[in-house]
């Protein structure tokens, strides 16, 4: 069993942090404003060539959402992802407004491709 405990405001190393404390008092996990668990949000312009997401360390995964006013589909995948949508492609298609969440520990290795100048929103921690 664990509980979430805010760290004291007097902590000078990391401010606005949360630690998960086990019943025996040991720290199960820790997230803070400068660490891998700190939430981050990003927007990225889609291109007609596979482009990597901005590299970020993650603790809790990442969600990628296609802007609702996008013109076309965005494909999410590994390096070399294609925008082919005929059963031979290798990307996960997101229609405008759709999202996918991935249990990743980093955004390194996640690529997008699609209609030029469409937008994806990325949030993770």
Q: Do 83 and 23 sit in the same domain of this protein?
A: no
Cα dihedral sign, 33-38-44-50: positive
- 73 and 14 share one domain: no
| 65 and 108 belong to one structural domain | yes
Same domain, residue pair 105 and 66: yes
Residue 45 in tokens: 């312009």
Q: What is the pLDDT of residue 39?
A: 86
66 and 22 within one domain: no
Q: What is the DSSP letter of 118?
A: -
What pLDDT is stored for residue 14 in this prediction?
38
Counted domains in the chain: 2
Instruction: Kindly report the CATH number assigned to the domain that includes residue 57.
Output: 2.60.120.10
Where do the DSSP E strands lie in 9-118? Answer: 18-22, 27-31, 40-45, 51-52, 62-66, 74-77, 92-94, 99-102, 111-114
In this predicted model, what pLDDT tens digit does every residue of 78-104 receive, in sequence order? 999 999 999 999 999 999 999 999 999
Structural domain span for residue 12: 2-31
Same domain, yes or no, for 13 and 48? no
54 with 101, same domain? Answer: yes
102 shares a domain with 60: yes
Quick one: 53 and 105 in the same domain? yes
Whole-model pTM above 0.75? no
**How do residues 40-71 score in pLDDT, each as one tens digit?**
899 999 999 999 999 999 999 999 999 999 99
- Pair 114, 66 in one domain: yes
CA distance 122 to 99: 9
């Amino acid at each position: 069993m664990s509980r979430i405990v805010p760290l004291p405001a007097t902590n000078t190393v990391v401010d606005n942090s949360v630690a998960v404390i086990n019943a025996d008092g040991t720290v199960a996990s820790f997230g803070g404003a400068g660490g891998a668990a700190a939430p981050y949000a990003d927007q990225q312009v889609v291109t007609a060539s596979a482009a990597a997401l901005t590299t970020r360390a993650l603790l809790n995964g990442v969600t990628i959402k296609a802007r609702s006013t996008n013109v076309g589909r965005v494909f999410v995948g590994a390096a070399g992802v294609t925008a082919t949508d005929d059963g031979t492609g290798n990307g996960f298609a997101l229609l405008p407004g759709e999202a996918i969440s991935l249990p990743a520990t980093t955004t390194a290795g996640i690529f997008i491709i699609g209609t030029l100048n469409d937008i994806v929103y990325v949030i993770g921690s």
